[in-house]
Amino acid sequence: MSQTSQNLSLSKLAALVGGQFPFVGNTGQTPHAQGELLITGVAGASEAGPTDVTFLGNGKYLPALKHSNAGVALVPLDFNETVPPLLIRVENPSLEFAKLVAHFAPKPIEWKPSIHPTAVLGEGVILGENVSIQPYAVLEAGVCVGTGTVIGAHSYLGHGAKLGAHCFLHPRVVVGERCLVGDRVILHSGVVLGSDGFGFENVKGRHIKIAQVGIVQVDDDVEIGANSTVDRARFGRTWIQEGTKIDNLVQIAHNVIVGRHSLLVAQAGISGSTKLGERVTLAGQVGVVGHIEIGSDAVVGAQSGVSKSLEPGALYMGTPAVPAAEYREQVAYLRRLHKLVDRVAKLEQVLKSQPPSGRQIKPAAPRPSSERGE
């Protein structure tokens, strides 16, 4: 393939990712010949071809790399396996591979500053410089939008909502009235900020709705995935703090606080008034009850159910969630339970087949009637 502005020689690729050069490969090529290899794309180890670069970010993918047709692979500094691709050793293969993905990816779509004729702007809307508002977006009265923000088609911003600078709202995002969004926030399609918290009071067998009059506050550099929802507070605020990343289909209830730089993975759900510390990770389908705290740097494994507060800095698993070592012990016992049942059944059969052991006790002779007072 002829070289284009995107294609990279191996030497230039190594410079881009800060990798070791010359390389230790398995082809017998000289370092000079290796440096002339032209890289035209990126791919996973199983799909890569001779002019593609791949990476090893997790040891479980080593078998795929050993059978890969990739021309080059980014590997950790201490990697010493024999694999077909030429090797570039880097400190963080996943991070450096992301640079290459960005290099070879199609040029990002640019949104020209403009207001589409079909967009609806209410009274007193304030727009910063270079804002782009796409077709059929609705901005209610009092909305404020920061510099360089893009509002996707069919999105809705409620009365008095405020968005910071350089945010990106994909199509069909809802930001409810009075909610606050910081700078550089990304909201994917279907995100709803400021839906009512799930609050009802049972009165004589009927569920009476409790007013939800608080807001949602989303701080700088947060990203929220498609069809995730963050309920407004009953009073005060539901608060997603700086740098947190939220996957698709996540539910965050009223008055929850999610600490800085946390990760909430798909289908996780957090009940009302729970507080997460900083850098907390909730893996897929984790459920958390309300009114508890999860300490900073805690990690909760997939499909776990959190029923009480968790200490910081530990890995938890299971339902109810317990420290990982305790959970693994429980699983080990459960997997041996059928063997225990079989052993008990055999013991019962043995006991039933044997006569009672020990000395037989004869019943006492009845006393004479005179001794009984008759």
The string of pLDDT tens digits covering residues 218-237 is: 999 999 999 999 999 999 99
- Where in the chain is CATH 2.160.10.10? 114-326
Please list, residue by residue across 292-316, b when 16 or more beta carbons sit within 10 angstroms of its beta carbon and e when fewer do.
bbbbbbbbbbeebebeeebeeeeeb
d(CA 265, CA 304): 12
d(CA 23, CA 77): 12
| DSSP symbols for 123-144 | TT-EE-TT-EE-TT-EE-TT-E
Return all residues near 308 (Cβ < 8 A) that are at least 6 apart: 289, 292, 320
Q: Is the peptide bond before 22 cis (omega within 30 degrees of 0)?
A: yes
pLDDT tens figures, 280-294: 999 999 999 999 999
pLDDT tens for each residue of the chain, 374 residues long = 334 568 998 888 988 998 876 544 444 444 444 546 899 999 999 999 999 999 999 999 999 999 999 999 999 999 999 999 999 999 999 999 999 999 999 888 889 999 999 999 999 999 999 999 999 999 999 999 999 999 999 999 999 999 999 999 999 999 999 999 999 999 999 999 999 999 999 999 999 999 999 999 999 999 999 999 999 999 999 999 999 999 999 999 999 999 999 999 999 999 999 999 999 999 999 999 999 999 999 999 999 999 999 999 999 999 999 999 999 999 999 899 999 999 999 999 888 888 766 555 566 666 666 555 55
Q: Are 322 and 338 in contact (CB under 8 A)?
A: no
Tokens of 351: 């006991």
Tokens of 308: 């009480």
Q: Are strands 251-252 and 229-231 parallel, antiparallel or unpaired?
A: parallel
d(CA 64, CA 73): 12
- Where in the chain is CATH 3.40.1390.10? 8-104
Instruction: Look at the pTM and tell me if it is higher than 0.95.
Output: no
CATH superfamily entry for domain 8-104:
MurE/MurF, N-terminal domain (3.40.1390.10)
Tokens of 31: 């370092």
Fold annotation for 114-326:
UDP N-Acetylglucosamine Acyltransferase; domain 1 (2.160.10)
Q: What are phi and psi for residue 199, nearest 5 degrees?
A: -125, 120
Task: Please give the positions annotated as active site.
Answer: 254
